[in-house]
Structure 1
Amino acid sequence: MTLGSSRAGALGPRPAAPGAHPGSGPRGGPAVGRRTLMQGAGALAALGGLGALSGCAGTAARAADDIAFWHLLSGPDGVTMGEMLDGYMATDGAPTVTQTVLAWGAPYYTKLAMASAGGRAPDLAIMHAARVPGYAPGGLLDEWDLDLFGEFGVAKEDFPELIWEKMVVDGKLTAIALDSHPFVLYYNTDIAEAAGVLGSDGLLLPTDNPEDFRELALELGAKAPSGYGLSWGYLGDGSNQWRMFSTYYSQLGGTIDLPIGGKMEYQEEIVIQAIEWILSLIDGEVGNPGHDGGTAISEFATGGSGAFYGGVWESGSYRNEGVPFDMTMVPGVFGEPVAYADSHAFVLPHQMTPDEDRRRNVHAAVAYLLKNSITWAGAGHIPAYSPVIEDPAYADLVPQSHYADAVDHLVYDPPAWFTGSGSDFHTYFGNDMQNVWARRTDPLEGWNAFVARINALLLKPTPM
């Protein structure tokens, strides 16, 4: 099956995948326009191999001005990426970029690894930055040429420190981040105004301790039709459970190390403190104790609750639905306002004999996308290319500019071959912790079951 370029016809919506976000396997939103989209591991497996994919054609079989680009961006993100690529291809002398869009999560990463190992890799691909440490050491990714990027006006200094650190693995520049997409707090501005919790600037009043935050949430709930100040969905969604836990565990100063061949290292006292705090937010008074992702989103989208914990990628849907909302970084009630995050990053899947001219064209294309990523910011993501954020035009983006400082407070998954967005790490966390949030299991019992699974993975060699 051959997949078309970005100029293919639009498709209809598709259902959500647990733990996914609308830009990468969404709940609901419109599917990718102007390209043909292949969905699902079953359809991919039916091919019986990778040779039929347009992105897998041997590099020698294509001209240097034809770039094969794989990614997992669908919904509004997919449409936006198509528009940005159309803009690039309209520039003088730009090559054609042929997109292949694969299903979010394990199907995508498995196919990308197989393509790199089998000598049929695309010229360019998107990965979540937290997944890169599991791929780069196995030789599945090639290194970017920073000197070549310099010719196109892109330098190390153009990226925030926390993001740059995720782009370098074992001293090699193996990823170029397009964005960061952190866990944030949405709030209904009408409900917040009625509750008297907006400042003179029209923004949510700051809180820097758990007592004040809980009081603010209760005030929101008193004016919300549902009676709840906060919405957070966790049932059946290991990734969203992990995002919430990672945010507050990190605010409390907790760290996690995953030494291959060893055992997971963490601070048990802080683990319990973070779990108990989250339970206090879904106690039936502050927030609903039994939401899944869809019901939490629906509660906020229909104006039922005062605030919502979620990823920045939901902003486009809420805007389209006419919700009166604004956004802020998750308040730092235990210290710095750090929060879980990941990044969409460009990578060079390994090729045995890459075409030099095509590699140069790929660097030029990525530089263009970075410099024009204010368009990408429209979907809620924070551009990783700092000059875009520093441009006065970005300050005019609302609510995007209200949480832009999150780039200095990002917390990525601890590096390991099994962590990152859509990974087993998130799935196992949800499997073992869901009963904790539902108050059917003791916090430490659920956590210890999760740790046991991770320790078993640490004893296994990386499959990459």
Structure 2
Amino acid sequence: MHGQLFPSSSPITRRSVLLGGAAVAGGMALAPGLTGCATAGGGEATYPLKFWHLLSGGDGIVMAGLVDQANKDNPEFFASQTVLAWGTPYYTKLAMASVGGRAPDVAIMHASRLPGYAPGGLLDPWDTELLAEFGVREQDFPPRVWEKGLIDGKLYSVALDAHPFILMYNTDVAEKAGALGPDGQLVEITSPEQFVEVASAMQAVTGKHGLSYGYLGDGAQMWRLFYTFYKQLGAEMVLENGKEVQMDEEAAVTALSFIQQLLDDTIATRSGDYATAVAEFVNGESGMFFTGVWELPTAKNSGIPFDAQPIPTLFGTPAAYADSHAFVLPHQSAPDENKRREVYRFVSELFKGSIEWAGAGHIPGYLPVVESDEYSELIPQAHYASAADVLNYDPPAWFTGSGSDFQTYFAENVQGVFLGGDDPAEGIRGFVRRLNALLAKPNPVAKG
């Protein structure tokens, strides 16, 4: 999910791909003559569209193919891509482009970052009637996914996908541990005690660990698991500027204490990093793996027998941490109406072709794809697709979301808890104090 920074004024060439690692399929480079409205076959106007995103690696390859196909099938537009480095560089450049009048026609951002951009005037809202004209309607998305794009009743983002935190498991190890049901999938696990029992049984099979989970030095990994369990406890977290954090300390302590129980160097490594956890699982040295859907290609390429599902509901309320790659309209003071119409056409084409996006592990946001026979044949994707119905994004605030410092602040206060030495209550209180300091400040990227 991390990429190389490419200058926005430069086309993506074979050389830049080889140097930067963002693989590109045909049709992504800027075509000569498309700096203005060119002429396509039949005399139709072709509108050049500037499309920014932060997708590299395998995701970048798939997106390149989708854009290439959309360009091929639609002579009305030609979309050229600019790939920027994941995280702060991307979001800073996107904000500066919107403020400075150099915004692209369409961009992808994480849905969790929306509260820091839309209220400040950095994004333009989508016209839902025009989206519907191109076959993209509210009923075509899971409610939580669609609603995340709404701010003050206006739609500012439309999600290409949901990418939740899930549970992968080695089916051979699970079978030997007696943890497979008659359908060949993991038995239903409904309590923390039962999860520990299953993990311990798998550890007895592998002789190393029952569960892989890497987090050391990785605030995002810590937050994903914590927030999943926190929300399963039915707890809320409210971050409102000018007010103190509203957080359920008891639920937070319960979630952290359970994570400490898992990280005992038997069920799971107490001080493992993410790369070590991935290697451990794909080498068959553990039975289960807490990870994101983006690791699906890695698991498949390893050749191990595995399946996946939403993280079991251990604390009563089905919930999973997730984010979405979502399409947004960076603010333009005087957009060309005809050109913007082609943006809607372009985005609708990517939604309709997102069965290819599902191959990378993401759950397509567009339900006609998820509900298709073709998607039902994708395993394990079809086995964890229901996570889209119970997903939870970061609590809305200008400083939260993927690639922000929010998860770093979490790590600064709770990594010692994960390692087993620090008190969960003190860790959470330190995190709350840090958030209270942020809530006392205005949004620094708000326009104007």
Partner of residue 170, structure 2: 188
- Of 273, 296, 321, which residue of structure 1 is paired with 2:277? 296
Identity %: 52
CA deviation digits over 1:15-73, x for unaligned, max 9? xxxxxxxxxxxxxxx63223899xxxxxxxxxxxxxxxx9xxxxx97336110000000
Q: Does 1:151 align with 2:125?
A: no
- CA spacing shift, 1:6–1:402, aligned 2, 3 Å: farther
- CA spacing shift, 1:3–1:315, aligned 2, 3 Å: farther
Shift of 1:371: 1.1
Contact 1:206 1:331 survives alignment (8 Å): yes
Q: How many residues align?
A: 427
Equivalent-residue separation in structure 2 for 1:155 and 1:116 (angstroms): 26
- Of 175, 185, 201, which residue of structure 1 is paired with 2:157? 175
Partner of residue 43, structure 2: none
Aligned positions of 1:9-408 closer than 5 A:
11-12=17-18, 31-34=22-25, 62-63=36-37, 65-226=47-208, 228-408=209-389
Equivalent-residue separation in structure 1 for 2:115 and 2:93 (angstroms): 17
Equivalent-residue separation in structure 1 for 2:19 and 2:206 (angstroms): 31
Shift of 1:391: 0.8
What value does the CA root-mean-square deviation take over the aligned residues? 1.9
Equivalent-residue separation in structure 2 for 1:192 and 1:12 (angstroms): 40
Contact 2:162 2:322 survives alignment (8 Å): yes
Equivalent-residue separation in structure 2 for 1:115 and 1:178 (angstroms): 22
The more displaced of 342-351 and 301-310 is 301-310
CA deviation digits over 1:61-104, x for unaligned, max 9? 73361100000000110000000111111114242111110011
- CA spacing shift, 1:104–1:2, aligned 2, 3 Å: closer
Q: Give the aligned residue type for 2:24.
A: G
The more displaced of 291-300 and 433-442 is 433-442
Equivalent-residue separation in structure 2 for 1:183 and 1:454 (angstroms): 24
Contact 1:85 1:97 survives alignment (8 Å): yes
Shift of 1:336: 2.8
Shift of 1:5: 5.0
Shift of 1:4: 5.2
Contact 2:49 2:80 survives alignment (8 Å): yes
Equivalent-residue separation in structure 2 for 1:142 and 1:131 (angstroms): 15
Equivalent-residue separation in structure 2 for 1:145 and 1:391 (angstroms): 27
- CA spacing shift, 1:36–1:305, aligned 2, 3 Å: farther
Shift of 1:178: 0.3
Q: Give the aligned residue type for 2:164.
A: P
- CA spacing shift, 1:61–1:97, aligned 2, 3 Å: closer
Q: Give the aligned residue type for 1:311.
A: G
TM-score by length of 1: 0.89
Equivalent-residue separation in structure 2 for 1:2 and 1:139 (angstroms): 22
Contact 2:26 2:68 survives alignment (8 Å): no
Shift of 1:10: 7.3
Q: Give the aligned residue type for 1:69.
A: F
Q: Give the aligned residue type for 1:62.
A: G
Equivalent-residue separation in structure 2 for 1:13 and 1:271 (angstroms): 43
Equivalent-residue separation in structure 1 for 2:378 and 2:9 (angstroms): 34
Contact 2:263 2:419 survives alignment (8 Å): no
In structure 2, list runs of 5 or more residues that go unmatched: 1-6, 38-45
SS state at 1:180 partner: strand
In structure 1, list runs of 5 or more residues that go unmatched: 15-29, 38-53, 55-59
Equivalent-residue separation in structure 2 for 1:11 and 1:223 (angstroms): 43
Contact 1:6 1:35 survives alignment (8 Å): no
Equivalent-residue separation in structure 2 for 1:13 and 1:184 (angstroms): 32
TM-score by length of 2: 0.92
Partner of residue 48, structure 1: none
Equivalent-residue separation in structure 1 for 2:74 and 2:232 (angstroms): 48
CA deviation digits over 1:397-443, x for unaligned, max 9? 00000011111100111100000111111110011111111123211
Shift of 1:212: 1.2
- CA spacing shift, 1:169–1:209, aligned 2, 3 Å: same
Partner of residue 416, structure 2: 435
Equivalent-residue separation in structure 2 for 1:247 and 1:36 (angstroms): 40
Contact 1:8 1:36 survives alignment (8 Å): no
Contact 1:383 1:389 survives alignment (8 Å): yes
Shift of 1:214: 0.9
Contact 1:5 1:97 survives alignment (8 Å): no
Shift of 1:337: 2.6
CA deviation digits over 1:201-256, x for unaligned, max 9? 11111111111111011111111142x11011111000110000000010011110
Shift of 1:285: 2.3
Equivalent-residue separation in structure 2 for 1:7 and 1:391 (angstroms): 35
Equivalent-residue separation in structure 2 for 1:5 and 1:340 (angstroms): 35
Equivalent-residue separation in structure 2 for 1:90 and 1:61 (angstroms): 18
SS state at 2:394 partner: coil
SS state at 1:153 partner: coil
Q: Does 1:459 align with 2:433?
A: no
Contact 2:27 2:68 survives alignment (8 Å): no
Q: Give the aligned residue type for 1:100.
A: T
Q: Give the aligned residue type for 2:53.
A: H
- CA spacing shift, 1:211–1:2, aligned 2, 3 Å: closer
Equivalent-residue separation in structure 1 for 2:8 and 2:98 (angstroms): 19
